[in-house]
Amino acid sequence: MCGIFGIVTKQETNLGPTLIEAGKMLSYRGYDSVGCATINAAGEIDLRKDAGKVDAVAEQYNFAEMSGQRGILQLRWATFGAPSKVNSQPHLDSDGDLVGAHNGNVVNNAELRKQFMAEGMTVRSENDGESCIHAVERYVNKGFGMVDAIRKAYEDLKGDYAFVIGRQDEDVLYAIKKGSGLVAGIIEDGTVVSSDLPSLLPLTRQILRIEDGEIAILRADGIELRSVADGSVIEREVELVKETMEAAQKGNYPHFMLKEIHEQPVVAGELLNLLDNSEEVDAIVARIKAADNIYLAGCGTSYHACLLASVYFSRLAGRATIPVLATQFIAQYGPAVGPGDVGMFVSQSGETKDVLNAIESAEAKGMGVLGLVNVVGSTLMRVSEHHIPLGCGYEISVPATKTFTNQMIAFLYLALRMGGHDTDILHDLPELMRKTIAASDPQAAELADSLVGVQDFYQLGYGMTYPMALEGALKLKEITYLHCEGMLSTEFKHGPLSAVEEGYPVVYITGREDVDLIVSGINEATCRGGWAIVVGPEDARLRANGHEFMILPETPTPEIEALLTVIPLQLLSYHLSLALGYDPDFPRNLSKTLTVD
C-alpha cells in the first residue's frame, strides 16, 4: 500500500522538509523503503532513496537539503522485488531524463520488464514502479508528447495503480490514476498531488479529486485534467475540504477496523489481478502436486485460513492436506516430515515467531517451504522457495480482517488451479463482498445492541463454515473481551449444550449444503430456550427455525459462500465492541506481530 507525493512550485526552493513531512503523513499506510527526487530549474534530477524508515533514510541521505522546482516522494510497500535500495522508488528511465514513482500493483510487471530489456532499455530493478516509467519512456522514444505517451502507457500497464512522473525539460509533473487513490491540491505558489488526503491537509484545503482514467497535469499556477481515453480536457471545480487529519487517514470511518473491513473488496480485486499474472502460482501448484504430504501452518487467524484451505484442496483438487497450528507442528509432525513433504506457512507479518520456529524445524528435516505473507521482504518471504504476497497493504487495526479474507482467496485460487478449474469464477467476488458488507453492517449494529449484557455464547459452523465460526469467535474475544467459543456444530451436543438456557445466544454459520444439519442444531438449542442467530444464505428452513438473520447474497459456488460468511461476523464483533465502549483498533494485551515464543 505504497504512498506517493508530488509538488510543483513557481520558483526553485528547498523542497526537502516538505517532502519529509509528506512522507511522515503517509507512513500510517505502511512501508519498507523511502525515496525522494527533485528537479531543479536547470532540469537536473537529484534522486536519493533506500530501504528503511523516513527519519533514518532522510537523515542518512540528507533529504532536508534537497531543492528544486519539482519534487516527488514515495513510500514503498513491497510487492514486486524485496525491499532494497535498487527496488526503492522513485525510478529513472534509461537515459535519466524521466523520473517517477507509483502506488499499487502492475500485475504484468514481469512480462513488461522482459519487453523493456528486449527493446534495449536499462532496467535496474525488479520493481513495478520502474515499469511505469519505462512504459512512458517507450512512447516518448517514439516521438509522442508526454500526455499521449502516458495514454499509451496506460493501455500497457495492467492492474490497479497510480503514478506521478516528471521530465527534465518540462516544468510540470504528470499524475495518472487507475484504481489506486490519487488526490491533488492547490497551494500558495504551486500545486501538489498525493495518494491520499492526509499528506495534503497540512499544505492546503483546496482539493481536486482525480478519477480513474484521468491525467492530472500539475503546473505551478494550476492543475489541468485530461482524459486518458481521448486526451480531452476535463472540467472540475476545486473543492474546499473540512476533514480533520485523523478523519482523513481513516477515510471518514470512525475506526481503522471498519475501514479495513470496507477495503476487503478492493484488496480482493487487487489480489486476484496479482494471482492471474503471477508466475509463482504455477510453481506453487506444481510443488504441492509433487509433495508426499502437504502441511498448512499458521497461528490464530492465519490458522483458521489454513483450516478452510484444507477443505478447499480436498473438495476442488482431491488432495488431502494437514492444517496445523504452527507451534504444534514441531511436536506433532516435526519428527516425521522429510524431503518429500511441503509446508505452506501463513503469516500476515512474515515475522510471527511461532511460524518461523516451525519453518526452522521443517527445514532441518529437508522439507519444502512455501509462503503466504502480506509483508514482502519479511523473513517468511525470504526463506520460502516460492511465495504469494497478499497485497493488502498495511493493516493498522490489530484484529485481522482484510488479510484474513485475502489468505482465504489465495488458498481458494490455488485449490481451483490445482484441480484444473476456471479461476474466472472468482472475478465477481469483490462485488459479492461489497453486497455482503452493505447488507450486514446495519444488521450487525442492531444485533450488537441486543447482545449488550451477554457474557458468554458460542459460534457454530460445519464443514467450510467451521473455520469461520472459530474466526468469528476469535474476533469477539479480541475486541469485546467476552467469552465466545467457536465450535464444530455437531460437537455442541457433546457437552456445551448444557450451557443453553432461556435467552442464551448461539450463532450458527452455514452454507447452502449444510442447512438441514444446521437446522437440527438450531432446534437443539431453541427447544431449550436458546436464542438462535443465523449467518447464511436465504433459505425458508433457516427462516422457520432461527430468530435473527444475517443473510448472504446469492453466490456461484459453496466455496465462495463460505468465504463471505466471515464478513457479518467481523461486523458483529466491531459493533459489539463499540456498544461495550471499547476501541476495536487497539484491544488490550494484544500486538499486531508476535515476535516472541
Tell me the residue range of the domain where 196 lies.
Answer: 3-249
The single-letter DSSP state of residue 3 is E
Q: Which of 29-33, 339-343, 559-563 has the lowest mean pLDDT?
A: 29-33
Residues 541 and 557 in one domain: yes
Residues 566 and 437 in one domain: yes
> Tens of pLDDT along 422-433?
999 999 999 999
Joined grid coordinates for residue 403 = 488479510
State the Cα–Cα distance between residues 28 and 17, nearest whole angstrom: 18
* Cβ neighbours of residue 527 closer than 8 Å, sequence gap 6 or more: none
State the Cα–Cα distance between residues 109 and 93, nearest whole angstrom: 15
Backbone phi, psi, residue 5, to 5°: -150, 135
Residues 236 and 265 in one domain: no
> Tens of pLDDT along 491-537?
988 988 888 889 999 999 999 999 999 999 999 999 999 999 999 99
Residues 21 and 170 in one domain: yes
> Tens of pLDDT along 315-328?
999 999 999 999 99
DSSP 3-state percent helix, strand, coil across the chain (nearest 5): 40, 25, 35
Which residue, 249, 277, 305, sits at the end of a domain? 249
Cis status, amide bond into 17, omega within 30 of 0:
no
Which amino acid, 332? Q
> For residue 132, what pLDDT is reported?
97
Q: Mean pLDDT across the stretch 224-250? A: 86
SS3 2: coil
Joined grid coordinates for residue 13 = 526552493
Which of 514, 510, 462 lies closest to 489, judged by CA?
A: 462
For 551-577, b/e burial (b = at least 16 CB within 10 A) is bbbebebbbbbbbbbbbbbbbbbbbbb
Q: Are strands 233-234 and 386-389 parallel, antiparallel or unpaired?
A: unpaired
Residues 368 and 466 in one domain: no
CATH code assigned at 329: 3.40.50.10490
Confidence of residue 245 (pLDDT cuts 50, 70, 90): low
Backbone phi, psi, residue 292, to 5°: -70, -50
Catalytic: 592? yes
Which residue, 249, 269, 304, sits at the end of a domain? 249
Residues 398 and 454 in one domain: no
CA max distance for the chain: 82
Which of 275, 106, 92 lies closest to 176, judged by CA?
A: 106
Confidence of residue 592 (pLDDT cuts 50, 70, 90): very low
Answer whether residue 590 shows pLDDT above 80: no
**Sheet bearing 206-209, strands edge to edge:** 45-51, 33-39, 67-76, 3-14, 190-194, 183-187, 206-209, 239-240
Instruction: Count how many residues are written for the chain.
Output: 597
CA distances from residue 304 to 122, 405, 411 in whole angstroms, order as listed: 44, 11, 12
> Tens of pLDDT along 311-365?
999 999 999 999 999 999 999 999 999 999 999 999 988 888 889 899 999 999 9
> For residue 101, what pLDDT is reported?
97
* Radius of gyration in angstroms for the set of CA atoms belonging to the chain, rounded to a whole number: 25
Which residue, 184, 216, 249, sits at the end of a domain? 249
**Sheet bearing 456-461, strands edge to edge:** 483-488, 456-461, 505-509, 531-537, 548-552
Q: For CA atoms 471, 475, 476, 478, give the dihedral sign.
A: positive
Q: Mean pLDDT across the stretch 432-441? A: 97
How many structural domains is the chain composed of?
Answer: 3
Which of 130, 111, 120, 109 lies closest to 37, judged by CA?
A: 130
Residues 242 and 260 in one domain: no
The one catalytic residue in 10, 24, 353, 592 is 592
CA distances from residue 47 to 68, 72, 80, 143, 366 in whole angstroms, order as listed: 12, 9, 21, 26, 44
SS3 337: coil
State the first-to-last Cα distance of the chain, in angstroms, to the nearest integer. 29
Which of 145, 116, 142 lies closest to 128, judged by CA?
A: 116
Q: What is the 3-state secondary structure (H, E, C) of 180-245?
A: CCCEEEEECCEEEEECCHHHCCCCCCEEEECCCCEEEEEECCEEEEEECCCCCEECCCCEECCCCH
State the Cα–Cα distance between residues 392 and 403, nearest whole angstrom: 6
Residues 38 and 179 in one domain: yes
* Cβ neighbours of residue 533 closer than 8 Å, sequence gap 6 or more: 447, 505, 506, 507, 508, 546, 547, 548, 549, 550
CATH code assigned at 194: 3.60.20.10
> Tens of pLDDT along 153-174?
999 999 889 999 999 999 999 9
Q: Across the chain, what does the average pLDDT equal?
A: 92
Residues 397 and 446 in one domain: no
Residues 236 and 340 in one domain: no
SS3 23: helix
Answer whether residue 419 shows pLDDT above 50: yes
Answer whether residue 1 shows pLDDT above 70: no
* Cβ neighbours of residue 330 closer than 8 Å, sequence gap 6 or more: 357, 358, 361
Q: Mean pLDDT across the stretch 426-445? A: 97
> For residue 595, what pLDDT is reported?
41
Residues 373 and 265 in one domain: yes
DSSP lists the bridge partners of residue 483 as: 456
* Cβ neighbours of residue 115 closer than 8 Å, sequence gap 6 or more: none
> Tens of pLDDT along 390-399?
988 778 888 9
State the Cα–Cα distance between residues 475 and 494, nearest whole angstrom: 24
SS3 456: strand
Residues 245 and 257 in one domain: no
Count of CB atoms situated within 10 Å of the CB of 29: 21
Confidence of residue 24 (pLDDT cuts 50, 70, 90): confident
Answer whether residue 597 shows pLDDT above 60: no
Catalytic: 2? yes
> For residue 551, what pLDDT is reported?
93
Which of 281, 331, 343, 337 lies closest to 306, judged by CA?
A: 343
The one catalytic residue in 2, 132, 299, 484 is 2
